[in-house]
């Protein structure tokens, strides 16, 4: 009986490995922009920004993102919604990290948005492992931003991963739900 359990467990892990290999097969899934994002500019937002000790540092809002995009001469801004429990988010952020030089060269500002979590220290350690620390990191611990942007209904969980691509004036361009083999090139292509 124990032998069958080990076989099932081995098959389960083999299936997970196969599925992980296909997670980026095919193009990224683009979704239509929800009504609140079908506007000339992004609705106002504010995110909490904290350091690795969890100390409040500053606020990331529309004006701050525009200012940083101008300073860095960025053409696009990518709001990458994630949570530390999301395995697909890890894969997507790792891929973005691998392509960080290309993202910078192509003028893409990455803004990581942690949705629904408030363990700042744990999240910062997670970022150190899977993402680039020079990217902006904002916390939306009450998941208000996805609701305000029309990405979820009130009280619903944010489906992750998700990337909202904006121009440098924060006009919404596209919403990507699942990254494909064209990710992250899709972030700077027209």
| CA terminus-to-terminus distance, the chain | 57
In the chain, domain spans: 28-187
Give the pLDDT confidence score for residue 153 in this predicted structure: 87
pLDDT digits (tens, 9 = 90+) for 116-171: 998 888 998 899 888 877 889 999 988 889 999 999 988 888 899 999 999 999 99
Give the pLDDT confidence score for residue 155 in this predicted structure: 80
Give the pLDDT confidence score for residue 124 in this predicted structure: 87
Pick the CATH number of 28-187 from 3.40.50.720, 3.20.20.60, 3.40.30.10, 3.40.50.2300: 3.40.30.10
Q: How far apart are CA 56 and CA 40, in angstroms?
A: 31
pTM equals 0.84
Phi, psi of 130 (to 5 degrees): -115, -10
Residue with tokens 């196969």: 18
Closest CA to 83 of 73, 93, 98, 69: 93
pLDDT digits (tens, 9 = 90+) for 64-118: 999 999 999 999 999 999 999 999 999 999 989 999 999 999 999 999 999 999 8
């Amino acid at each position: 009986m124990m032998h069958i359990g080990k076989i099932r467990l081995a098959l389960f892990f083999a299936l997970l490995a196969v599925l992980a290999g296909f997670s980026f097969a095919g193009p990224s899934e683009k979704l239509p922009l929800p009504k609140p994002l079908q506007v000339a500019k992004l609705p106002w937002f504010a995110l909490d920004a904290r350091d690795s000790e969890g100390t409040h540092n500053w606020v990331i809002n529309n004006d701050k993102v525009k200012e940083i995009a101008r300073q860095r001469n960025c053409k696009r801004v990518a709001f990458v919604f994630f949570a530390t429990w999301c395995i697909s988010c890890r894969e997507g952020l790792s891929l973005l990290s691998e392509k960080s030089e290309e993202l910078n060269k192509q003028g893409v500002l990455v803004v990581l948005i942690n949705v629904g979590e408030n363990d700042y220290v744990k999240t910062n350690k997670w970022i150190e492992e899977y993402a680039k620390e020079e990217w902006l990191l904002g916390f939306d611990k009450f998941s208000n931003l996805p609701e305000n942007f029309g990405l979820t209904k009130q009280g619903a969980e944010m489906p992750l991963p998700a990337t909202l691509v904006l121009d440098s004036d924060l006009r919404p361009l596209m919403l990507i739900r699942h990254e494909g083999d064209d990710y992250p090139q899709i972030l700077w292509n027209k």
